[in-house]
Amino acid sequence: MSLATPTRPGRAQRVPLYAAGFVTAFGAHSIAAGMGAQSDHIGLSLLNLGILLAIYDLAEVFLKPIFGALSDRIGAKPVIVGGLLAFACFSLIGLWAADPLMLGLTRLGQGAAASAFSPASSAAVARLAGGKNAGTFFGRYGSWKSLGYVIGPLLGAGLIHVGGFALLFAALSVLAVVTAGWVFVSLPRLEPITRVRYTVRDLGRQISERRFLVPTMVLAASTGALGAAIGFLPALATRHGLDPVAGTAAVTVLAIASTITQPWIGKRRDLDGISDAQGMRAGLMLTASGVGIVAVSPGSITVFIAALLIGAGVGVSTPLAFSHLADNTPQDRLGRTMGSAELGRELGDAGGPLIVGSLATLVGLPFGLGMLAVLVGAASAPRLSRTRPVPIQGGR
């Protein structure tokens, strides 16, 4: 017997989940943008910068499906609270992050902790949506994440300027503890739903369906462009005469565009103003255009044009992809599906910086960005299936 999901979740129940999304975005990208802008000062080559940008996401690649499945089994709330507290503990390692090795260890631990509360938060958002308004809810959830991208780079740069990376990590630890307490107090316990038993064959059929693969590829491509832009746009800006604060401002432009776009697109989706397939394709093409512009004509002005296009593209494609997954997944495996989808997303987030960093070392940064633009554009080619997914039959 399935346990009921609240039919009219209040704002007070949803906002802590949005705040959890803010924490992972603020944590990941305040540090990433800070490393990009300060790469010359802390002795990072382009390849090492790419590695440090990717290591956070590499931890999530291995752990997100596991923690997503765990949230299905024991409920999302304890996984979210535990992950946030672990994030706070690992952030304390950053108090001694005076060299690339300690920065890498800190980001590895933070990525492992985020792999718990990120997919659990997505699954909880889908549960609270209850099959209605998924686009609106995920649009707002994504908007809060983008707010972390907005505040993260500039505030991170300010904290680093005042007290180095240690002050930034201390602030992240406090923020994670406060958010964990907020989730604990305000979020109702979403009890696990009675699960159907799945065979390996059932799992293989699920992850091979276009309804899963296409939105997951969209998330991977858009997040790969986002991860590369967060780190390399500030580095590119400083190499064209801008100071570090102005360089991180380009990332803020990107995040503002995404923050504004996501709630609007999510609401339009729920009102049938835009289809998932067309919207995701348009979002990827916008993103590829932004990356391509800065690859062909890098400069102090085109960096900001690229940031605007990438932010708008990510803002279009991301809530549509998550909403499509939520609407096509049984509630008893929302956590596992969101964790698996975010696995693809994190592969993109790790792969984007690594591709750009590696090719930049061998050939040059414009070539690396150009190749990324081609890959993002190619991800818009697959089409969603017109047939409904085959229901899985299993025993209780």
Domain boundaries, the chain: 11-191+204-378
Share of the chain above pLDDT 90, in %: 23
| pLDDT: which is higher, 241 or 115 | 115
Reported pTM = 0.76
Confidence band, pLDDT 50/70/90 cuts, at residue 222: very high
Minimum mean pLDDT among 50-54, 291-295, 378-382: which range? 50-54
Q: How many CB atoms lie within 10 A of CB 189?
A: 10
Predicted confidence (pLDDT) per residue in 196-220, tens digit:
555 555 555 665 677 788 898 999 9
Question: Is the confidence at residue 304, as pLDDT, over 50?
Answer: yes
Residue 392 main-chain phi, psi, to 5 deg: -90, 130
17: closest CA among 74, 73, 84?
84
Sign of dihedral through CA atoms 205, 390, 332, 88? positive
| Per-residue model confidence (pLDDT) at position 50 | 67
Most confident stretch, 1-15, 93-107, 216-230:
216-230
Q: What is the mean pLDDT of residues 98-105?
A: 74
198: closest CA among 342, 69, 101?
69
Amino acid, single-letter form, for residue 270: D
Instruction: Specify burial of residue 358 (Cβ count, 10 A radius: 0-12, 13-18, 19+).
Output: middle
User: Is the Cβ–Cβ distance between 249 and 307 less than 8 Å?
Assistant: no
| Per-residue model confidence (pLDDT) at position 388 | 42
The DSSP element (H or E) to which 325 belongs, if any, is helix 302-327
Q: How far apart are the first and last CA of the chain?
A: 10
The DSSP element (H or E) to which 381 belongs, if any, is none
Q: What is the mean pLDDT of residues 229-233?
A: 82
Question: Is the confidence at residue 387, as pLDDT, over 70?
Answer: no
| Per-residue model confidence (pLDDT) at position 69 | 80
Question: Is the confidence at residue 3, as pLDDT, over 50?
Answer: no
Distance of CA 153 to CAs 9, 166, 238, 337, Å?
32, 15, 14, 30
Rounded Cα distance between 282 and 350, Å, is 23
Distance of CA 281 to CAs 95, 103, 207, 316, 343, Å?
42, 36, 20, 9, 20
Give the 3-state DSSP-derived string for 346-396, with helices as H, strands as E and coil as C: HHHHHHHHHHHHHHHHHCCHHHHHHHHHHHHHHCCCCCCCCCCCCCCCCCC
Question: Is the confidence at residue 375, as pLDDT, over 50?
Answer: yes
| Per-residue model confidence (pLDDT) at position 237 | 80
| pLDDT: which is higher, 84 or 394 | 84
380: closest CA among 259, 289, 257, 256?
289
Rounded Cα distance between 357 and 351, Å, is 10
| pLDDT: which is higher, 391 or 294 | 294
Question: Is the confidence at residue 108, as pLDDT, over 70?
Answer: yes
User: What CATH number was assigned to the domain covering residues 11-191+204-378?
Assistant: 1.20.1250.20
Predicted confidence (pLDDT) per residue in 238-263, tens digit:
777 777 777 778 887 888 898 899 99
Amino acid, single-letter form, for residue 112: A
| Per-residue model confidence (pLDDT) at position 287 | 95
Question: Is the confidence at residue 396, as pLDDT, over 80?
Answer: no
| Per-residue model confidence (pLDDT) at position 2 | 39
Predicted confidence (pLDDT) per residue in 119-139, tens digit:
888 888 888 876 677 888 888
| Per-residue model confidence (pLDDT) at position 394 | 39
| Per-residue model confidence (pLDDT) at position 143 | 85
Question: Is the confidence at residue 5, as pLDDT, over 50?
Answer: no
| Per-residue model confidence (pLDDT) at position 23 | 92
Question: Is the confidence at residue 235, as pLDDT, over 50?
Answer: yes
Minimum mean pLDDT among 18-27, 141-150, 192-201, 349-358: which range? 192-201
| Per-residue model confidence (pLDDT) at position 193 | 63
Q: Give me the chain's average pLDDT, please.
A: 80
User: Is the Cβ–Cβ distance between 347 and 220 less than 8 Å?
Assistant: yes
